[in-house]
Chain A
Amino acid sequence: MAETKAPAQRPLSPHLQIYRPMLTMMMSIVHRITGAALYFGTIILAWWLLAAAAGQNAYGVFEGFATSWFGRIVLFGYTWALLHHMLGGIRHFIWDLGYGFGPEEREWLVLANLVGSITLTVLLWLFFAMLGMR
């Protein structure tokens, strides 16, 4: 009988490091990263709601976090990740429906995704800052 040989270590399918970085590819990765960040960021949402349900003291602790510099940076990042992932989702809907696959269209879509999410986040926080100054 022939001896059973261990399967040869053959290369798997080419992965990220093989390709030249492109905007569509980078934004695909960013979509996944923002999704994962939001996954853990949802703890903040749960904390906020539970604190409001628990009482004045618990809510005060949350507010202390939310208005601290660290908390503001986290919440700013959370807002951006949320809006970016949302706009990225809309981009995927467009692609799911079969539109926007042309070389210029797809580049335009991912760029609009990035510019749109940053602009919306900044506008929302400016609005938020104006509310605070009332």
Chain B
Amino acid sequence: MTMRTPLSRVRGFGSARSGTDHFWRQRLTAIANVPLTLGGVILMISLTGRTFPGVRQILGSPLIAVLMLLFVLSITFHMKIGMQVIIEDYVHEEKQKLTLLVLNTFYAVAIGLACAYAILKLSFGV
């Protein structure tokens, strides 16, 4: 039988080594976001005023479509983590917090999937 308290046991184990997971992922997606965002903004501006078939053709071309897929996946992942931090910072009531965290994940996944679906549909032309 051990006389150690649970707290002491946990301290003995040290950290779980996963505390920097979000910190790291947030920076990883941020690094990807910089060139992808610049590319995305330039693309959007160059597409304004073009005819509908022209826009479809450019958005559906392989290089642009792959870059746009990377762009939307990277930003939706990044914004999901970012909003989670905001929620955890300001919402302390447990049920409210959990509800918002769930909604946050749903929203980010829905936006990411909707964008990805649209890009794929433009690429495959169905």
Contact = CB atoms under 8 A, between A and B. Distances in A.
Nearest to A35: B82
A93 B27 CA distance: 8
A45 B115 contact: yes
Interface string A37-66: 011001101101110110010011000001
A76 B46 CA distance: 15
A89 interface: yes
A45 B45 contact: no
Main secondary structure of the interface of A (DSSP, over half): helix
B37 interface: yes
A124 interface: yes
B27 A52 contact: no
Contacts of A49: 59, 68, 72, 114-115, 118-119, 122
Given A49-B118, A49-B119, A52-B122, A35 B79 contact: yes
Chain B: interface secondary structure?
A: helix
A132 interface: yes
B83 interface: yes
B83 A56 contact: no
Contacts of A46: 111, 114-115, 118
Interface residues of B, number: 33
Contacts of A90: 34
A45 B72 contact: yes
Contact of B55 (A59, A82, A131): A59
Interface string A14-55: 000000000000000000100110110011011011101100
Given A38-B79, A39-B83, A86-B33, A52 B114 contact: no
A50 B79 contact: no
Contacts of B118: 46, 49-50, 52-53
Interface of B: 27, 30-31, 33-34, 37-38, 41, 44-46, 48-49, 52, 55-56, 59, 68, 72, 75-76, 79, 82-83, 86, 111, 114-115, 117-119, 121-122
19 contacts: A32-B86, A35-B86, A36-B83, A43-B111, A46-B115, A46-B118, A49-B114, A49-B122, A50-B117, A52-B52, A52-B56, A53-B117, A79-B41, A93-B30, A93-B31, A124-B41, A131-B48, A132-B48, A132-B49
